[in-house]
Amino acid sequence: MGDTFRSTAETDVQYVKGVGEARAALLHKAGIETVEDLLTYIPRRYLDRSTIMKISQVSEGEDVTVVGRIVKIKKIPRPHQRLIITIYDKTGILDGVWFNQVDYFQKVFKEDQEVAFSGKIGFYRGWQIVHPDFDIIEESKEQLHTGQIIPLYPSGQELRSRGLSSRGFRRIIYNALDKYGDAVSENLPEMLLNLYRLRERPEAIRKIHFPEKMSDIHESLRRLKYEELFYLEILMALRHFQHRSPVKGITMKTSGETIRKVLNKVTYELTGAQRRVLREIYDDLRSGHPMNRLLQGDVGSGKTVVALISALIAIENSYQVALMAPTEILAEQHYLNIRELLSGTGIEPRILTGSLKSQTKKELHSALKEGDLSLVIGTHALVQEAVEFRKLGLVIIDEQHRFGVLQRGELIAKGWNPHVLVMTATPIPRTMAMTLYGDLDTSVIDEMPPGRKTVITAWRTEKKLPEVYKFIREKIKAGEQAYIVYPLVEESEKMDLKAATESFEFLRNHIFKDFNLALLHGRMKSSDKETAMQQFKKGEIQILVSTSVIEVGVDVPQSTIMLIEHAERFGLSQLHQLRGRVGRGSKKSYCILITPEDINETARQRMKMIEKTTDGFVIAEEDLRLRGSGEFFGTRQHGLPDLKYSDLVEDRKIIETARQDAFAIIEKDPQLRLPENQKIRDYFKIKYQEKYQLIQIS
């Protein structure tokens, strides 16, 4: 069985009839390399002939699909450039109209082709649909296209130009099924197929492409989604049980003395929630099993001190601790805070980032290897090969959502079953949390330190900047401090950096020339960053102008204003994080979002959302709704496999079921050695083991 699966997975798509070398190259580029990839390239949607509307029956404003032959292709030149494709379906005529990419679309269509147009009916000298969703469905000779339900495949401009429109895909997939359809093998145990009455894989794959009735689509998809999510959860379950089951962890105890010393230095009492999660962490540390825990808490809930106390326990037991942060600035921030809190305890933390001089790095590496250094704070520089620990006992990862799961694994691999604490401020819906962090136990800080004031949030357009600046000047004269943030996205980094730098110069030389300003961005030397942060903390600098590097973690209680330029370019969760930088002291704080006048509707919705709510969970849900789960989570970024059929939000019921099943199987058979699990083992190895080498099934 395993072998037959291998055959579709190992056969290059080039050998499918009708593909050949040139098309194969294009398909490879689109991620379709093997026959298996092609067979699992599923339709984007379907056209059901029985629900196609006759043109004579359409009415204005209705959303419809019509199918007809192209009778005229007409390009209207500038200045009112547009392309009009007229179709006829024996009952009437209708125009498809394009205002954009006219030349491109002109080449897409040919007279006499049969096409489907979908969209809202309008009326302008006749029925029309502007920018219809369209498909070329021609050629009725071949029986594979005469069915009631026509599958439509996603296909970009390049694929189309090679004859791989929906129609082209239908043809090659038909050929692939013809020759390799019987080689598609089952990858789920029969028990599960029976339990959920799932279709067998070969049938599901066949019918997802060539359904006879609408229920074929639904049933085939249900099966493929279950399969996909089941294997995702098998991956999570393997991780989960391999972390804990056979291995003995380090048992740690504390007398509480160092902790008391440090707690005496902070001016506040721990909140009930902080105390509760510390107890949960301590229970793990002394349990004899490696801790594997996620600490969730909204921005400003006080995760750092919890992390520090956990670190102290490990150090008291003569183990080393590594704290990894996603950016240099955040690492520096942690370093400065923690160094101060630890003064007088005899524990000297050090910082390790990529931008250190190589001599310093070498010193640090050797100190870690010799065990002379008990607490190291750093960036992903910590997971580099050269870094070795003598006795790594606790790994703390801050703002986990910024790291891939793999990086987490790399750091863990540097110790002998060290305890692991990962922290995140991004609140995420439950099912997603389960999937992303499904291998972790969870602790939540669900209570803010007392006395926090709600940050007043206001959205203003650029026109209002003079008033906003005036407001900021008044606040600064009264002894408060401000952040001004500019967007910086990777794709346009150079331009963004230039814009931020220019604005900084302008603000410093004109608007705020009687105050002290500093610029902070990721490209600066580490020592310059540290100086800027220090000066801002001490109040020597009143306005910190920065790119989004301060998004996470930075903590300066006396700053009360967060001004965000081009707020429309930030995601909701990012804006929420930025806002979390203020409102940490006793004074009233403000978050001001600046956008151009003419932003689009979703951007408007985002601004209004941030204005009216401060609840991180509500914001995360909304972010998800506006952006879709794909973009929100970019599964790849998290080191999870891409999902072909399923959606982490829509399919949450299936996820839950698949998860229970997968966990039950792995709990009973952590190495997948039982004969009844042979199929799972074979498929998992082929599909995932290469990518997830940290997971061992021998």
Contact positions toward Mg ion, by CB under 5 A? 553
Q: What minimum distance in Å lies between the beta carbon of 41 and ligand ADP?
A: 43
* Residues facing residue 588 across a β-bridge: none
Residue 167 contact, options Mg ion, ligand ADP, none, Cβ 5-8 Å cut-off depending on partner type: none
- What are the tokens at 385? 């090969």
Minimum distance of Mg ion from residue 446's CB (angstroms):
16
Q: Please name the helix (run of DSSP H) or strand (run of DSSP E) that holds residue 24, with its range, or none.
A: helix 20-29
The least CB distance from residue 311 to ligand ADP, in Å, is: 13
Cβ distance to ligand ADP smaller for residue 584 or 659 = 584
Name the minimum Å distance from CB 252 to ligand ADP. 22
Half-sphere exposure of 276 (CA within 13 A, CB side): 12
553 or 616: CB nearest Mg ion: 553
The minimum distance between CB 634 and ligand ADP, in angstroms, equals 23
301 versus 417: smaller Cβ distance to ligand ADP: 301
Select the binding partner of residue 268 from Mg ion, ligand ADP, none (C-beta < 5 to 8 A, by kind).
ligand ADP
- The amino acid sitting at 554 is V
Contact (CB, 8 A) for 688 and 641: yes
Residue bearing tokens 């909204």:
298
Cis peptide before 79, with omega less than 30 degrees from 0? yes
**What amino acid is encoded at 160 in this protein?**
R
- Residue with the CB atom nearest ligand ADP in the bound state: 302
Which of Mg ion, ligand ADP, none does residue 418 bind to, with CB < 5 to 8 Å depending on kind? none
* DSSP H/E element including 171: helix 166-180
Coil, strand or helix at 63:
strand
Residue nearest to Mg ion (CB): 553
Look at residues 396, 433, 401 and name the one whose alpha carbon lies nearest to residue 299.
401
Minimum CB distance to ligand ADP smaller for 331 or for 648:
331
CB count within 10 Å of CB 608 equals 11
Closest to ligand ADP by CB, 289 vs 303, is 303
Six-digit token pair at 233?
Answer: 């959860």
CB of 580 to Mg ion, least distance (A): 9
Q: Choosing among ligand ADP, Mg ion, none, which partner's interface includes residue 142 (Cβ < 5 to 8 Å by kind)?
A: none
- Asked whether 69 and 88 are in contact (CB, 8 A), the reply is yes
Taking the alpha carbons of 470, 476, 478, 480 in that order, is the dihedral positive or negative? positive
557 binds, among ligand ADP, Mg ion, none (CB under 5 to 8 A by kind): ligand ADP
Report what 294 binds from Mg ion, ligand ADP, none; CB cut-off 5-8 Å by kind. none
Residues 6+ apart with CB under 8 A from 241: 666, 667, 670
Closest CB to Mg ion among residues 23, 380: 380
Q: How far is the CB of 330 from Mg ion (least distance, A)?
A: 8
Render the burial of 157-181: b for 16+ CB within 10 Å, e for the rest.
eebbeeebbbbbbbbbbbbbbeebb
Residue 538 CB, nearest approach to ligand ADP (Å):
15
Give the one entry of Mg ion, ligand ADP, none that residue 299 binds, where binding means its C-beta sits below a cut-off of 5 to 8 angstroms depending on kind.
ligand ADP
Q: Which is nearer to ligand ADP, 297 or 415 (CB)?
A: 297
Contact 641, 603 (CB under 8 A): no
Handedness of CA 407, 296, 534, 342 (dihedral sign): negative
> Which of Mg ion, ligand ADP, none does 171 bind, CB closer than 5 to 8 A by kind?
none
CB of residue 428 to Mg ion, shortest distance in Å = 16
Answer for the pair 485, 578: CB distance below 8 angstroms, yes or no: yes
Nearest to ligand ADP of 417, 560 (CB atom): 560
**Closest separation in Å from C-beta 33 to ligand ADP:** 43
Shortest gap between Cβ of 620 and Mg ion (angstroms)? 17
Nearer to Mg ion, 168 or 553 (CB): 553
Interacting partner of 289 out of Mg ion, ligand ADP, none (Cβ under 5 to 8 A depending on kind): none
257 binds, among ligand ADP, Mg ion, none (CB under 5 to 8 A by kind): none
Beta pairing, strands 82-88 & 63-76: antiparallel
3-state secondary structure (DSSP) of residue 443:
strand
H/E element holding 149?
A: strand 149-152
Q: Report, in Å, the least distance between residue 398 CB and ligand ADP.
A: 7
Residue 89's binding partner out of ligand ADP, Mg ion, none, with CB under 5 to 8 Å set by partner kind: none
The site partner of 321 among ligand ADP, Mg ion, none (C-beta below 5 to 8 Å per kind) is: none
Please choose, from the candidates 593, 605, 580, 623, the residue with its C-alpha nearest in 3D space to the C-alpha of residue 454.
580
Rg (CA), the chain: 30
What is the Cα–Cα distance from 364 to 361, expressed in whole angstroms?
5
- Which chain residues interact with ligand ADP by CB under 6 A? 268-271, 274, 297, 299-305, 425, 449, 553, 555, 557, 584
For Mg ion, the closer CB: 39 or 307:
307
Write down the least CB distance from residue 230 to ligand ADP, Å.
Answer: 35
Q: Give the nearer residue to Mg ion in terms of CB position, either 338 or 545.
A: 338
DSSP 455-469: PEEEEEEGGGHHHHH
Specify the residue, 243 or 303, whose C-beta has the smaller distance to ligand ADP: 303
Tell me whether residue 132 or residue 553 sits nearer to Mg ion (CB atom). 553
User: Which residue is associated with the tokens 């002109």?
Assistant: 106
- How many helices (H) and strands (E) the chain has is answered by 24, 21
Residue 679 and residue 187 in contact, taking contact as beta carbons nearer than 8 Å: yes
Query: What does 368 bind: ligand ADP, Mg ion, none (CB cut-off 5 to 8 Å by kind)?
Result: none
Among ligand ADP, Mg ion, none, partner that 584 touches (CB below 5 to 8 angstroms by kind): ligand ADP
Rounded least distance, CB 304 to Mg ion, Å: 5
Q: Quote the CA–CA distance of 579 and 456 in Å, as a whole number.
A: 10
Q: Which is nearer to ligand ADP, 374 or 426 (CB)?
A: 426
Residue whose structure tokens are 């500093």: 518
The residue assigned the tokens 């520096």 is: 332
